[in-house]
Each structure stands twice: as C-alpha cells, then as structure tokens.
Amino acid sequence: MSIVAGVDCGTQGTKVILLDLSTATVLAECSAPHDLISASNGRREQQPVWWVDAMVTAFESAVTAANIDPKSIAAIGVSGQQHGLVALDASGEVIRPAKLWCDTETAAQNAQLLEMLGGAEACIELLGLRIETGYTASKILWMKQNEPENFARIAHILLPHDYLNFWLTGEYSAEYGDASGTGLFNVRKRCWDEEVCKLIDPSGALFKALPKLNNASTPAGFVSGAAKARLGLSDNVVVSCGGGDNMMGAIGTGNVQNGIITMSLGTSGTIYTFSDVPVKLKHPSIANFCSSSNGWMPLICTMNVTSATSLVQDLLNMDLTEFNQSLDASEIGAGNISFLQFFNGERVPALPDGKASIHGLDAANFTRDNLVRSVVEGATFGLKYGLELLRDAGISIEQIRLIGGGAKSANWRQMVADAMNCEVICPEVEEAAALGAAIQASWALNGAISFDAIDDLVVLDETSRTLPIANNVTAYQLAYQRYVSTLNSQYPQLQGEC
C-alpha cells in the first residue's frame, strides 16, 4: 500500500483522512473538535496548540480505524482555515492566540488599510484583489495598535496550515493559495508585496517575518522531531506545501478545470472555481485568489450559513431531523419573510458590521416552519448573491459540486439547484478539503502535479445529483428579488451592486 494522510484544520475541529493511492480507497476519516474564544465585539480566536492536539487525536483515531501501522504512511498534506494570524517569536513560540478568518474585531483596521492603499481600486491594482475584514493584514495592524509589546516580539508570521506544517517539519513556509488571502501578497505576480507590508510596519521587520513561498509541487519538508515521535511515523515522510481549506476543497472536488463551481454549505459559505489565468475583476467582492494547484481560484465568501441556521435550530430546540421536517413543511418564499442572516457581520456583500434581521412578519406567516425556511433561504440567497457576481464577471457555471454539512440535506440541495438554476451534485467523500490535502500529498510524494489521478480519487455521488425544477426556479427568483430589495432598503450603499 502507498498511504497518504490529508489533514483539514477548520474552525470547529480538525479532520484526518487516510487514502490508499494504490487502490484509490479512503481507509478512514476521523476528527477531533476545537474550542473557540469569542466575544460580542467580533473577536474569534483559537490557541494553535489546540490544532496540534486535535490533529494528533484525529490522526491516532484514523490509524486505529484503518488498522494500519503509522509507519506505512508516506506523505501528509495539510489544509487549514484561511486568513488566520499565527504570530511567532524568534524561538518559534506562539505569542498570542491566533485571530481567525471570522474575526471581525479588526474591521476598523481593514478600513484604515484600504484608505492607506488609496481605496478599493488602488488595492486591486496593487495586489490583484481588495483586502477584506478577516484577512491577515488587518489582524497584524490591529496587533500593532492594540498589543504593541506583542507586535514587537514578532519574528515569524504564519497562517494556520503553515503553523501545522511548521510543527510537522520545523520549516517556516507558505504557499501561493493560502498566502493570497493575507492581503500581503500580489496574486498576479505570486509574491509577497513589500509596499503593503511597509504601510503596516515601515521598519521592514514585518516583510522579513514572512515565510518563504512554495508552489503546489514543492514540499514544505519532512516530518521531524517531536511530531515524528508523537505521530509514530517513519523517516522521510514528506509534507506537501498544503493550502487554505477552500484551495484544498477545490482539489478534493475535482475543481481543476473551467465550468465547475464548488459551493460549501459550512459554518461559512464559499463559492469558487478554477481559472488558468488571473480573473479580470468586475466587482471587488470577488477574491481573485491563487489556487493550490498552480492556477487561480476566483472565490466568494459569505460568513453566515450553518452558523445562522444552527442558531435558529437551537432557539427552537429542534434536532436536525425536526429542522429538516420543518423545512419540508414550508413553502418556497417562507410566506414572504426575508431573513437577513448577518449574525457574524458579512463579507459578501461587504457588511462587516451588519446585523441579522427578519422582515415581513405578520400574524399569518409567523410560524415555526416559515422561520426555519426563511433562515435557510437567507443563507442560500447570500450565496446566490455571490454567484451572480461571478456570472456577471463572465465565469461559466455548468455544475455545482456541493460540500459542507448543509449538503447532506436533500431539501437544501434542491433549494440550491432551484435558486441557482444549476445542476448540483456531491462528492462521495464529504471531507473535500482533507481529501484535497491527501491528493496534494501524493503530488509531493511523486514530485509532480497530476490532474489525471483526480478522476480516480474524486468520485461523485450519483444519488445526490439534483436538477432544477422549472416552477421552483421561478418561485425562488421572486423570493430572491424580495431578499435583495430588503437588503438594499436596509443597506442603501449596496444598491446597484447585484
């Protein structure tokens, strides 16, 4: 057997998948949870040691479930939540808890950075994208302004997946895909941008703290030291460069050619596709990221999907079966209720200080079933808002490959197919980011990228294939228009955007 491990360090937990390359078989999938440090001011943080501990726990569980010797594992790939700030001192010790992608405490610093850069258009001209609240750059500026003593100790800046690679190999490195979500990186030239670094830190120390960059076929290193002993691995286990969870999810859903859209119904929502050239941006909310397969990956991110639906589910004290039954019992449009689901602010549309609100309630439509449907529709319409921006940019959309917890719901899959007016299908392996990391690990093991192997390793679940229903498409278009009208009335600055 030739076995590789894929690791995905997310917000809620870390997953490990073991993949036998000789038979294209997933041997085991296991996970371990994380805690979260949060506050009402938008603070969202985690201790990096939690990621390490969760990875070890999930890895040990996967090895046990697969009934294999860990020394048979030849390579590891790591996927991680994007945009997080892991600040290390000169000894490689973590200085403070990592601020996460969903941290909006730094909204003021992001606005300040955009102003320093000369506005959104100037930022796009310099970096190839508009920096957003949640990107790493604003977190660094926040740290400088709010924790100057900690800022002065910074010797290395890493992203979450970079930190796990560092723990595994002892090497400080990053790769193009995840780096392109920092706000410190030129996505067209694929390099760190010294100019934006000097806006934050004129001394030049920040630029020097950034790690070396690897492309998709260059390994981060080999497992060594405490990591090798703790995981029970043999010598010369290669660690691929890894990437952000969305970049790895693209690989894990076979999204490496034009026309395919990956959509994630997770805590947050993401929509992304592949391009072999940088996309000419028609709207600054499209993140023109690099992929982790040496291409580009235009992406839309929304902050409130299952995070929003879970809040309503918990409020109504419903289990998942009851929640889905309630969704099935309601009609498209939720009795003309529009739910703006911005519990965590929002990235697309750009509303970092946005708040959740429910509109159109009356005595007739105020039912549990309508409340359930309205929040699911709100989360879906938020993604449709982003999808329409991609379509307007000329991006072809032939098929949506749906992942994330929400993809397990047949009702939600049908809603996505109808609302987006597009065929939907799910991969058989639900943990797409972990699978993508494992596939990339195989590239590092073999010393070259191979898209041919993806057809064998990424299998689509034909039982999940969902086609849009014409009458539903029309009904959802009316409901979506009401959602957008409500959105524009609450946030007039968005009028004309979509």
Q: What is 63-106 written as a DSSP string?
A: HHHHT--GGGEEEEEEEE-TT-BEEE-TTS-B-SPEEPTT--TT
- Residues forming the active site: 245
Q: Tell the CATH superfamily of the 3-245 domain.
A: ATPase, nucleotide binding domain (3.30.420.40)
SS3 153: coil
Looking at residue 355, what is its pLDDT?
A: 95
Give just the sign of the alpha carbon dihedral 358, 364, 366, 371: negative
Average pLDDT, the chain: 94
Where do the domains of the chain lie?
3-245
Residue 398, number of CB atoms within 10 A of its CB: 10
425-440 tens-digit pLDDT: 999 998 999 999 999 9
* Counts for the chain of helices (H) and strands (E), in that order: 18, 25
The answer for residues whose C-beta is within 8 angstroms of residue 93's C-beta and 6 or more apart is none
Looking at residue 279, what is its pLDDT?
A: 76
For residue 402, which of 347, 460, 456 has the smallest C-alpha distance?
460
Q: Angle at the Cα of 243 (from 242 to 245), degrees rounded to 5?
A: 125
% of the chain beyond a pLDDT of 90 = 83
End-to-end CA gap in the chain:
51
Q: What is the pTM of this model?
A: 0.89
SS3 259: coil
Which parts of the chain sit beneath pLDDT 70?
1, 496-498
Looking at residue 171, what is its pLDDT?
A: 97
61-120 tens-digit pLDDT: 999 999 999 999 999 999 999 999 999 999 999 999 999 998 989 999 999 999 999 999
